[in-house]
């Protein structure tokens, strides 16, 4: 029974940050706590493992709650941004319809605007500043030692990145919609989920104008010397940019 409690708790902790699956992880975590407490009360051999299962189960429950809050806020913020963009599009004047003289509806074929190009990459440690004043800086990767409870990639090296966001806009910026992805040596890196470490977490509350925050993300990469990070502060309002070694 103590082994069952510990196994359930560890599985729940690993799944606690997987969207949708974290609901099942919450049930596993509660089951781990119950089984661990029952095993502890019966005072059979394996009390240490029973205590560990109960404690990790409680941590997993807390992790599920936090992940639910983070995803809910991110979804709410995303929907709000989409609605604002839709309202702005509705208020914009519609182009004239096509005619025999103007088959393109508004101007000529040459007047059709090209798709915007993605900004030029910046180096690690160099700030990327948006037109509205939002500033993002990603520090160069440094070695990272995951905790025993971390969910990591296999066959690579673990690194961490310090991300600094300075809100130079006139409104609030919510970091819960901040997203990164990493490639290394031409392959996608695996983001590390680790609640037993000293990684600085992204705040759950919005940044007021003029505020700044630094947090960390960690990845398992194939080659730390050839890391490229794609940064999306907000998929609706701020275009993505890339950060790479200079």
User: Which DSSP helix (H) or strand (E) runs through 52?
Assistant: helix 47-91
Domain count, the chain: 2
Rounded distance between C-alpha atoms, residue 72 and residue 13, angstroms: 19
Using the predicted structure, report yes or no on whether residue 164 has a pLDDT greater than 70.
yes
Tell me which residue range forms the domain holding 129: 121-244
Q: pTM here?
A: 0.60
Give tens-digit pLDDT for 92-120. 565 555 565 555 555 555 555 555 567 88
| Coil/strand/helix, residue 218 | strand
Distance linking the first and last C-alpha atoms of the chain: 54
Tell me the pLDDT of the chain averaged across its residues.
81
Q: Do the Cβ atoms of 241 and 229 come closer than 8 Å?
A: no
- 226 DSSP assignment: G
Using the predicted structure, report yes or no on whether residue 246 has a pLDDT greater than 90.
no
Task: Looking at the structure, tell me whether residues 68 and 133 fall in a common domain.
Answer: no
Q: What is the pLDDT of residue 23?
A: 73
Q: Do the Cβ atoms of 61 and 23 come closer than 8 Å?
A: no
Rounded distance between C-alpha atoms, residue 182 and residue 221, angstroms: 8
Pairing of strands 134-138, 142-143: unpaired
Q: What is the pLDDT of residue 87?
A: 65
| Coil/strand/helix, residue 64 | helix
Task: Looking at the structure, tell me whether residues 127 and 230 fall in a common domain.
Answer: yes
* Rounded mean pLDDT, 48-71: 78
Task: Looking at the structure, tell me whether residues 137 and 238 fall in a common domain.
Answer: yes
More confident residue, 193 or 18: 193
Task: Looking at the structure, tell me whether residues 150 and 226 fall in a common domain.
Answer: yes
Q: What is the pLDDT of residue 106?
A: 52
**Inside any domain, residue 93:** no
Portion of the chain with pLDDT greater than 90, in percent: 36
Rounded distance between C-alpha atoms, residue 212 and residue 202, angstroms: 11
**Inside any domain, residue 40:** yes
Reference 12, options 234, 228, 195, 187; nearest CA is 195
CATH code assigned at 128: 2.60.40.1240
* Rounded mean pLDDT, 38-56: 73
């Amino acid at each position: 029974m103590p082994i069952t409690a510990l196994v359930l708790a560890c599985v729940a902790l690993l799944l606690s940050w997987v969207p949708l699956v974290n609901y099942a992880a919450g049930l596993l975590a509660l089951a781990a706590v119950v089984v661990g407490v029952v095993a502890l009360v019966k005072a059979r051999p394996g009390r240490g493992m029973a205590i560990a299962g109960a404690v990790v189960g409680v941590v997993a429950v807390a992790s599920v709650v936090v992940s639910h809050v983070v995803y809910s806020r991110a979804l709410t913020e995303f929907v709000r941004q989409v609605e604002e963009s839709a309202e702005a599009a509705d208020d914009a004047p519609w182009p004239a319809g096509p005619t025999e003289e103007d088959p393109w509806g508004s101007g000529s074929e040459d007047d059709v605007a090209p798709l915007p190009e993605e900004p030029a990459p910046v180096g690690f440690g160099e700030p990327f500043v948006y037109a509205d004043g939002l500033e993002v800086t990603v520090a160069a990767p440094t070695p990272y030692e995951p905790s025993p409870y971390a969910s990591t990639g296999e066959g690579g090296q673990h690194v961490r990145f310090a991300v600094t966001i300075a809100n130079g806009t006139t409104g609030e910026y919510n970091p819960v919609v901040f997203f990164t992805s990493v490639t290394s040596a031409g392959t996608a890196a695996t983001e590390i989920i680790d609640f037993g470490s000293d990684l600085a977490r992204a705040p759950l509350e919005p940044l007021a104008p003029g505020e700044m925050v630094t947090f960390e993300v960690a990845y398992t990469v194939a080659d730390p010397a050839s890391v490229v990070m794609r940064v999306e502060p907000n998929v609706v309002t701020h275009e993505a940019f890339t950060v790479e070694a200079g």
